[in-house]
Amino acid sequence: MPSQPLTNALTIDVEDYFQVSALAPYIPRDQWETRECRVERNVDRILLMLGEQRTRATFFTLGWIAQRYPQLVRRIVDGGHELASHGYGHQRASEMTEADFSADVERAKKMLEDLSGQEVKGYRAPSFSIGESNLWAFDCLERAGYRYSSSIYPIRHDHYGMPDAPRFAHQVRAGLVELPVTTARFLNRNWPASGGGYFRLLPYPLSRWLLQKVNEIDRQPAIFYFHPWEIDAGQPRIPGISAKTRFRHYVNLQHTEGRLRRLIADFNWGRMDEVFLGSAAQLPLVKA
């Protein structure tokens, strides 16, 4: 008898194009208020797409965005989606002190809960910036009342990554689960298989094959992520950025929404909390 298809977790990191970590050297934080905000219209397009395909997802939302667009937060929740935290101001956890990080994740959680009227269970660090040098971040998340994190990317990358970390869901503290974004294992190495720039760069059939491998061979649910700005080919172009940054940020923006529609149709999808937290107590404890 063929095995039942797994339900994977679809996630959206709610930030605007000018808040991306790779653009931080070119767009000072004190200029954010002067930039054209496009996040609301892009999230509304995503909500419409998910509604058409009867799919629920998890929205890791910046407190900075939620504070300025409270009605957007309510539309996310009213659509049956999970509201989770992306921190307040999109500062990398690896560039913050423990005290500053703790204040950031507590502020974001309280703000999102006040706006939505629902418990915020999950957190994702900007740029997957929890790694070997700042594992104290899990203590901060546990104290703040989060139930899971999705902040470690077990790959080698020039901006982030913890390649020796477990690839799949595990407990890092009693009551706190880490849900790493998905990688595929071959040639004795972990390869990205969970979205972002790789999804825009690689041919769609390859991305689909990688996720199928995780579902069918590893028998694990996948975690896929993308950003609202990745479906926005008309976003402003930032002058003066390096060729590498320009390529990474703008490659294939015009094709992303079509690929996402195919992805949603090709797999079963759900919210992070519903896919993972029901069995959290049975997950192995890997004390970090």
Task: Give DSSP secondary structure letters for 172-224.
Answer: EETTEEE-PPPEEEETTEEEE-SBTHHHHHS-HHHHHHHHHHIIIII----EE
pLDDT value at residue 37: 96
Q: What is the pLDDT of residues 177-231, one digit of tens each?
A: 999 999 999 888 888 899 989 999 999 999 999 999 999 999 999 999 999 999 9
Q: For the whole model, what pTM was predicted?
A: 0.96
57 contact partners, CB below 8 Å, separation of at least 6? 9, 10, 11, 12, 50, 81, 82, 269, 270, 271
Q: Could you give the angle at the alpha carbon of 162 between the alpha carbons of 180 and 253, nearest 5°?
A: 65
Q: Rounded CA gap, 124 and 104, in Å?
A: 12
Q: Rounded CA gap, 30 and 10, in Å?
A: 32
pLDDT value at residue 163: 86
| Bridge partners for 13 per DSSP | 60
pLDDT value at residue 161: 67
Domain ranges of the chain: 7-282
DSSP 136: T
Q: How far apart are the first and last CA of the chain?
A: 39
Blockwise average pLDDT, block size 10, the chain, 288 residues: 82 97 94 96 98 98 98 98 98 96 98 98 97 95 98 79 89 94 90 91 96 96 98 96 94 97 98 94 80
189 contact partners, CB below 8 Å, separation of at least 6? 156, 163
Q: Rounded CA gap, 201 and 285, in Å?
A: 35
pLDDT value at residue 188: 85
Q: Rounded CA gap, 132 and 156, in Å?
A: 13
| Percentage of the chain lying above the pLDDT 70 cut | 97
For 7-282, which CATH superfamily applies?
Answer: Glycoside hydrolase/deacetylase (3.20.20.370)
H/E/C letters for each residue in 83-132?
Answer: EEECCCCCCCHHHCCHHHHHHHHHHHHHHHHHHHCCCCCEECCHHHCCCH
